[in-house]
Amino acid sequence: MKIHKEGRRILFFTLLALLAANLLLFRYNAENGGFNKVFAAISVIMFLILLQFFRSPARRLFTHEDLIIAPADGKVVVIENVQEPEYFNDERKQISIFMSPINVHITRNPISGIVRYFKYHPGNYLVAWHPKSSTKNERTTVVVESEAGPLVLFRQIAGAMARRIVWYVNEGDEVSQGEEFGFIKFGSRVDIFVPLDTEVKVQIGEKVKGGQTIIAQLKTPPPSLF
């Protein structure tokens, strides 16, 4: 199990702080040995929770040009037709995945293609399942022209705990399905917007794995024989 690069600095300084606090307690509060042991146990648990949050498990990625792969680990919380106001300005099918604090928080490209649009939006920190979090919270918007043809829009959305979104893509980049496009620290969600005729392959409440679970299939024209 590897540790993601976004967590190495945080983990290092957290470990130093916890070690310093425990050493100070054992040196200057030796008469309260019971309290010191409880604090040490809590310190270990806190560090392990933080450690698992930044884990980066090896994944055998699934790729196919007309399939949409889950961009993150989590649970499907929204499948509905909505008006997408930022880029398409028309009706699209939205699929949303909620990432709890215990999920891996790497975000992956759901499709291969060319990034045609990217924008970072500062914003609020409503709980990630709030209906307005998609348009009010801190977020990034990425639109990829897929190899199969249709445009696919996806967003990293900060939640009540998430206070930093990291991204690794820019307009004009060529991206590969399953590869990392960012990281959301401490819980959030990812929204995907696809054409209305896209066939959804998951259900509300279903748990998915980033880079592996097929969540939808784009409708593409049959190949020409001439």
Closest CA to 70 of 98, 32, 46, 43: 98
**Cα dihedral 157→158→164→165 (10° resolution):** -10
Please give the Cα distance from 92 to 192 (Å, whole number).
10
What amino acid positions are annotated as catalytic residues?
Answer: 188
Closest CA to 92 of 210, 221, 191, 214: 191
Q: Which amino acid is at 41?
A: A
Residue 152 has which token pair? 């696919």
Please give the Cα distance from 85 to 67 (Å, whole number).
24
Burial classification of residue 214, based on how many CB atoms lie within 10 Å of its CB (0-12 exposed, 13-18 middle, 19 or more buried):
middle
